[in-house]
Structure 1
Amino acid sequence: MSTTRLMLLGVVRIFQPAYGYQLRRELLSWNVQQWANINPGSVYTGLRTLAKHGFLEELEEGEGHKPGRTSYRLTADGETEYFSLLRHALWTVDGFQPGQMQAALSFLWSLGRDEVIAALESRIVQLEQHEKAAPFNERQIENDPGTPTHVVEMLRISAARDRGELEWTRGFRDRVRAGAYAFAGEPQDWIPSPEAAEQWRSLPPA
């Protein structure tokens, strides 16, 4: 799953039609270079590549033969690809690609609340399975004299991330269940009832 592709399609979808400079500036404000491994200088190249593959439409502006700024908007295929990538990132746990879920978080509002809750439930099950398997996998690797030490530590850091994400996911699921945030199909000015708002604000982290 391409986190970069999801981020570019998602941010175009928010602002379309949008200019490359506008999109680059927006992504930088999200600090994507730190957690999504997106090089700010590659944003323009990424946009052109998505347009080449039919996921974005390039809109040229300008008078006569004078070149103008190029803006972008999603094509029908781009819309399909966006939701496919978003759902893959949300429903699939990959301990070696933590940026996938962070990318999904940027656009969860475009999915319905029920789907988000179901996906979080699925992630909890996957993470619980990882947690149960981690000690066995670690012992197997440690007992193999041919295993490089850095591989052992890679397994340990992945298991630690899974444990932390499991705790967060349980808490996030409970907050969404209790009425936190707004999702697709809910009014743009949606706010939870005072009772629901108090409930999710008072929930423990997990």
Structure 2
Amino acid sequence: MSTTRLLLLGVVRIFQPAYGYQLRRELLTWNVQDWANINPGSIYTGLRTLAKHGYLQELDEGDRPGRTSYKLTTDGETEYFSLLRQMLWNVDGFRPDRMMVTLSFLWSLQRDEVLAALEARIAQLEQRQKAEPFAERQVLEDPGTPNHIIEMFRITAARDRGELEWTRSFRERVQAGDYSFGGEPPDWAPYPGMITHWGEIPTPPAD
């Protein structure tokens, strides 16, 4: 749920105030249903839940009944950065979606923090690599554990090796000045035609 929460807070933060249908349409262009384990139909429920918990403010359009837009509250802004930093600074080999959603919003942090966090991730991945043979040995020596379970450790270790290689190269690119981060001039801006629909209030498709 923390991945979904960060995803929703982050996209609202970009486009606020925005309507649920617009946010859903935007997230579908990110293909979140493939990598974030989020059902497109649950986006509306997620927005309402975040509003209920005080992370989003619902803004009713007086002349358009039933149309609710959202923007972050102060608590929502705090929660956004807390989740972003938590996922950036901590490796979770069983949840690759956490780094995917982190990359979506990494630009909102400053470059020095991103570099420090990447160094921390490299250290964690190197430690996991050192510990992996001993985890394998424990499985193989445990008479109560089927030997094929070892492959669960091996596929996770393979992911860790791939992420370690990528993190090292990504760190080098960030050090070299690639991309734009908090407090820096943006290195990309959408052309006007990409954002005109945010000024519209579309009619959601009929069920």
> TM-score normalised to the size of structure 2?
0.87
1:163: Cα distance to partner?
0.5
Residue ranges of structure 1 left out of the alignment (5+ in a row): 191-206
Q: Number of residues paired by the alignment?
A: 188
Q: Which aligned pairs between 1:36-47 and structure 2 lie closer than 5 A? A: 36-47=36-47
Quick one: distance in 2 between partners of 1:176 and 1:168?
A: 12
Residue 152 of structure 1 and its aligned partner are, at CA, apart by 2.1
Flag the 1:148–1:24 CA change in 2: closer, same or farther, 3 A.
farther
Summarize deviations over 1:1-36 as a string: whole Å, max 9, x none.
Answer: 710000000000000001111111111111111111
- Three-state SS of the structure 1 residue aligned to 2:69 is strand
Counterpart residue type for residue 120 of structure 1: L
Equivalent residue number for residue 121 of structure 2 = 123
Question: 26-35 or 43-52, which moves further after superposition?
Answer: 26-35
Structure scoring higher RCO (CA < 8 A, sep ≥ 6) equals: 2
Cα distance in 1 between the residues matched to 2:143 and 2:40? 43
Residue equivalent to 2:11: 11
Check the 8 A contact 2:179/2:187 in 1, yes or no: no
Q: What residue number does 1:135 align with?
A: 133
Q: Distance in 1 between matches of 2:130 and 2:187?
A: 42
Change (3 A) 1:189 1:68: same
CA-to-partner distance for each residue in 1:46-91, whole Å, 9 max, x for gaps? Answer: 000000000000001132xx61411000000000000000000000
Identify the residue that residue 57 of structure 1 maps to in structure 2: 57
Q: Quick one: which of 141, 150, 156 aligns to 1:152?
A: 150
Question: 2:60·2:68 contact (CA, 8 Å) conserved in 1?
Answer: yes
Q: Is the 8 A contact 2:111 2:182 kept in 1?
A: yes
Correspondent of 1:106 among 98, 104, 125: 104
Specify the SS of the correspondent of 1:106. helix
TM norm structure 1: 0.88
> Which structure 2 residue ranges, 5 or more long, are not aligned?
189-207
| Distance in 2 between residues matched to 1:54 and 1:148, nearest whole Å | 47
Q: Deviations over 1:83-120 (max 9, x none)?
A: 00000000000001111111100000000000000000
Q: CA RMSD in A?
A: 1.4
